Amino acid sequence: MGILVVGSVALDSVETPFGKVEEALGGSAVYIALAAAYFSAPVRLVAVVGGDFPRKEMKYLEKRNIDLDGLQVVEEGKTFRWGGRYHYDLNMRDTLYTELGAFEKFDPVIPPAYKKSSYICLGNIDPVLQKKVVQSIERPRLVIGDSMNYWIRNKPNELRETLKVMDVIILNDSETRQLTDEPNLIKGAKRIIGMGPRVVIIKKGEHGAVLVTNDVIFSAPAYPLENIQDPTGAGDVFAGGFIGWLAKTDDISVENLKRAVVYGNTMASFSVEKFSVEGLDDLTPLKIQDRFREFMKLTKFDEQ
């Protein structure tokens, strides 16, 4: 049992029409792990930071039930930093800078105690490293890979190899089109199923997510929030809620995958209401359950 997450740990400076933060905790692995830990803790984190990574963030993650034995600290290196600015309607953003620091040479090392992890979530890193991580795990029950536009362009062959060891891939709509050269998303998803994963989840930002298998299509809208502060990390939080629910229930039937998608949307909806990871700060099982039920109401209609 147990969830293992690999990805980035970063310090993000983000500006949206509603405010800004400087060097706030971020990174794919952080967002995934914080969301997943609400369901199934501790969550094992495999990532790298520099010697400049603030001790208070380290403590914060530990307090949040993130197991940091797999977090490499490169004392002479710097932590990954990203700066971005969102447009008016939050659907577009400009990257202002990317300083990879120690993340540039990241080589994930899996501590022996992690090798029995059942649920593996691969954040957006080099597909060669993603594959290496999967191969280090003894008998993973479910491998989920997150989206990777950069790698589709720059390491297409390596990505194809990694897809073969993924059970579930999470992409956004443009990545789906880019990976398959197919404008129709459903056709594209089915083409990706032919490459390895048996489940494709297409994230569509404010429009929600669609789960596609060979037999089933499930469409889950995003929560209609009136106050979105900062969309950073929403896709990773989605992945974290998704894998968290699956690990908690240890049930990977299609019906439970659908619930997991809604839990993913649920967690993402909390995350975007505040800056950085703050939206994941004070949740409770009851709050999560309540919003999950709101999602049920949101799409429910009867035949009369």
Chain residues in the site for its own copies (CB under 8 A): 17, 88-90, 177, 183-187, 190, 204, 206-208, 210, 212, 217-221, 224-228, 249, 255-256, 258-259, 261-262, 292-293, 296, 298-299, 301-304
Closer residue to its own copies (CB): 164 or 293: 293
β-pairing, 43-50 vs 3-6, is parallel
Task: Say how far apart CA 95 and CA 14 lie, in whole Å.
Answer: 9
Q: What are the residues facing 129 on neighbouring strands?
A: none
Task: Say how far apart CA 52 and CA 224 lie, in whole Å.
Answer: 38
At closest approach, how far in Å is the CB of 68 from its own copies? 32
Closer residue to its own copies (CB): 80 or 223: 223
- Look up residue 55 and give its two tokens: 């001790």
- Look up residue 51 and give its two tokens: 């010697």
List the one residue out of 272, 261, 143 whose CA is nearest residue 211: 261
At closest approach, how far in Å is the CB of 232 from its own copies? 17
Q: Is 84 helix (H, G, I), strand (E, B) or coil?
A: strand
Closer residue to its own copies (CB): 135 or 184: 184
At closest approach, how far in Å is the CB of 245 from its own copies? 10
Amino acid at 254: V
Count CB-CB contacts under 10 A for residue 130: 29
At closest approach, how far in Å is the CB of 114 from its own copies? 29
At closest approach, how far in Å is the CB of 159 from its own copies? 21
Residue 162 and residue 145 in contact, taking contact as beta carbons nearer than 8 Å: yes
Pseudo-torsion of CA 9, 12, 16, 21, nearest 10°?
Answer: 120
Q: CA gyration radius for the chain?
A: 18
Closer residue to its own copies (CB): 7 or 188: 188
At closest approach, how far in Å is the CB of 93 from its own copies? 13
Closer residue to its own copies (CB): 198 or 207: 207
Closer residue to its own copies (CB): 54 or 194: 194
At closest approach, how far in Å is the CB of 76 from its own copies? 43
Residue 4 and residue 117 in contact, taking contact as beta carbons nearer than 8 Å: yes
Closer residue to its own copies (CB): 72 or 256: 256
